[in-house]
Amino acid sequence: MKKLLALIMAMAMVLSLAACGSSSSSSDTTTEDTDTSAAAADDAAESTGDATASTGGQKIGISMPTKSLERWNRDGTYLKEQFEAAGYEVELAYADNDTDQQNNDIANLIADGVDILIIAAVDGDTLSQTLADAGDIPVIAYDRLIMNTDTIDYYVSFDNYQVGVLQAQYVIDTLGLDVSDTSVSYNIEFTAGPTSDNNAGYFFNGAMDTLQEYIDAGILVIQSGKTTFEQCATNEWSTDTAMENMQNTLASYYSDGTQLDVALCSNDSTALGVAQAISTDYAGSNEVIVTGQDGDIANLANIVDGLQTMTVYKNVSDEAGVTLVLAQEILAGNSPAEELLDSLDAEAAYDTESYDNGTGIIPSYLLVPWTVTKDNLEDLVSTGLYEWDGDYLVSATDE
Ligand code: BGC
């Protein structure tokens, strides 16, 4: 009953956030009169200062990948609210995970005369031709790097490698692994994101690099033999595909009573499918460690219910806020670098080493992710984005 309630609440939130955004490739410039937009307005007013006065009719073009995963509904909503509160006009498009649709969306935004483009790519390798038409319009790659085009001015994201490190470190700490103690061994399986998402390799490598010495020592064993990113990849971060892949792995390698100890999933949408497969298809009775990333409402409920063990939380309202401050500087004719960090409300690093998109290094602002478990779940309430509703966290923006 509790699970059903949590699921209904999660679906209601996705629908309500979806209602706040625009439909595919259409523009929507209405302002939602919610607590969040009021909070965003306050924040924006604080962080923009004089810049607000000079936004006079400037238009922000935002291209998001999909509404089918919770976080992009949040990203689109927060970006739109925060830019509008700072006095900009916003055109927001969602591409339904379709690269042709996203190219059309971006072409339309360029034709509509936007002053800056903010793009979270469906596939980072498919946008260079369309972006060649962007001319002088500045482009910020949002969350996912856009590859092989020199039109990208900046990249705003989280420390993607660190996401994987945090997942791996959680496994090491929870199992109490000691690389010199080879008297114990645990079975682990990996579920990664799609090869089309430039982030997915960073998540996987952060986790795999951190666990490698334990794998080499035979303390962590991958029964399926799926050790490479490509072998573990999940198209479109699909929950169903992740579930089917785990069902197959369980049937092939764990149906004889072999114990599965860890399912290291790169994000929450895949963790949802993997947790489902474990609850229906796993013969063992031990509590499997299941990792995730994002803090989707359904996964936070799974953490309460013990079906998922941790998630790496990324505050995407802060990611939108950093993007706003950066865009304001660019639109004011500046070329921000490290000193922008002083104007940010969120903790971030300025990185000019890690993200080469094939045409050179893209200067990056990387926010800080953190580990959420059952023990510190309530800390999410202090972000102002969640509240308790009985036993579960719900979105505070869900009205
Ligand atoms: C994002 C993750 C998200 C995934 C699926 C990645 O690019 O960084 O936060 O879980 O896409 O939406």
Q: Decide if pLDDT at 209 tops 90.
A: yes
- What's the whole-model pTM score? 0.88
Pocket test for ligand 1, best of 17, 68, 71, 239 (most atoms within 8 A of CB): 71
Among 354, 384, 383, CA closest to 160: 354
Q: Decide if pLDDT at 80 tops 80.
A: yes
> CA-CA distance, 242 to 54, in Å (whole number)?
47
Kindly state the percentage of the chain with pLDDT values over 90.
Answer: 85
- pLDDT: which is higher, 94 or 16: 94
Q: Decide if pLDDT at 42 tops 90.
A: no
Among the residue ranges 28-37, 254-263, 328-337, 388-397, the one predicted with the least confidence is 28-37
Tell the residue nearest (CA) to atom 5 of ligand 1. 237
What are the residue ranges of helices labelled H in 306-359?
316-331
The per-residue pLDDT for 53 is: 47
Pocket test for ligand 1, best of 160, 197, 202 (most atoms within 8 A of CB): 197
Overall size of the chain counted in residues: 399
> CA-CA distance, 303 to 305, in Å (whole number)?
5
The per-residue pLDDT for 128 is: 98
Query: What separation in Å is there between the alpha carbon of 299 and the centre of ligand 1?
Result: 14
Q: Exposed/middle/buried for 293, CB within 10 Å: 0-12, 13-18, 19+?
A: buried
Query: What separation in Å is there between the alpha carbon of 105 and the centre of ligand 1?
Result: 20
> CA-CA distance, 370 to 162, in Å (whole number)?
9
Query: What separation in Å is there between the alpha carbon of 294 and the centre of ligand 1?
Result: 7
> CA-CA distance, 104 to 227, in Å (whole number)?
37
Query: What separation in Å is there between the alpha carbon of 125 and the centre of ligand 1?
Result: 16
- What does 144-166 look like in DSSP terms, one character per residue? SPPPS-TT--EEEEE-HHHHHHH
Tell the residue nearest (CA) to atom 10 of ligand 1. 267
Radius of gyration, CA atoms only, the chain: 21
Using the structure block, give the residue that is written with the tokens 């599965």: 260
Q: Decide if pLDDT at 31 tops 70.
A: no
Query: What separation in Å is there between the alpha carbon of 7 and the centre of ligand 1?
Result: 21
- Nearest atom (ligand 1) to Cα of 197: 7
Pocket test for ligand 1, best of 235, 294, 323, 368 (most atoms within 8 A of CB): 294
- What does 380-394 look like in DSSP terms, one character per residue? GGGGTSEEEETTEEE
Pocket (CB within 6 angstroms of ligand 1): 69, 71, 143-144, 193, 197, 199, 237, 267, 269, 293-294, 314
- Nearest atom (ligand 1) to Cα of 293: 10
Q: Decide if pLDDT at 311 tops 90.
A: yes
396 φ, ψ to 5°? -80, -10
* H or E element in which residue 157 lies: strand 154-158
Q: Label residues 162-187 b or e (16+ Cβ within 10 Å = b).
A: bbbbbbbbbbbeebebeeeeeeeebb
332 φ, ψ to 5°? -85, 5
Distance of CA 260 to the CA centre of its chain: 27
Average pLDDT, the chain: 89
The per-residue pLDDT for 120 is: 98
Predicted confidence (pLDDT) per residue in 242-286, tens digit: 999 999 999 999 999 999 999 999 999 999 999 999 999 999 999
Cβ contacts of residue 363 below 8 Å, gap of 6+? Answer: 153, 154, 155, 337, 350, 351, 352
Query: What separation in Å is there between the alpha carbon of 267 and the centre of ligand 1?
Result: 7
The per-residue pLDDT for 398 is: 54
174 φ, ψ to 5°? -70, -40
Tell the residue nearest (CA) to atom 9 of ligand 1. 294
74 φ, ψ to 5°? -65, -50
Q: Decide if pLDDT at 33 tops 90.
A: no
Predicted confidence (pLDDT) per residue in 125-169, tens digit: 999 999 999 999 999 999 999 999 999 999 999 999 999 999 999
Q: Decide if pLDDT at 47 tops 80.
A: no
Residue 19: pLDDT band (50, 70, 90) is very low
> CA-CA distance, 260 to 262, in Å (whole number)?
6
pLDDT, average across residues 336-348: 97
Residue 54: pLDDT band (50, 70, 90) is low
Query: What separation in Å is there between the alpha carbon of 311 and the centre of ligand 1?
Result: 13
9 φ, ψ to 5°? -65, -40
For 349, the token pair is 């690093």
Q: Decide if pLDDT at 16 tops 50.
A: no
- Nearest atom (ligand 1) to Cα of 199: 7
> Which residues face 64 on adjacent strands?
94
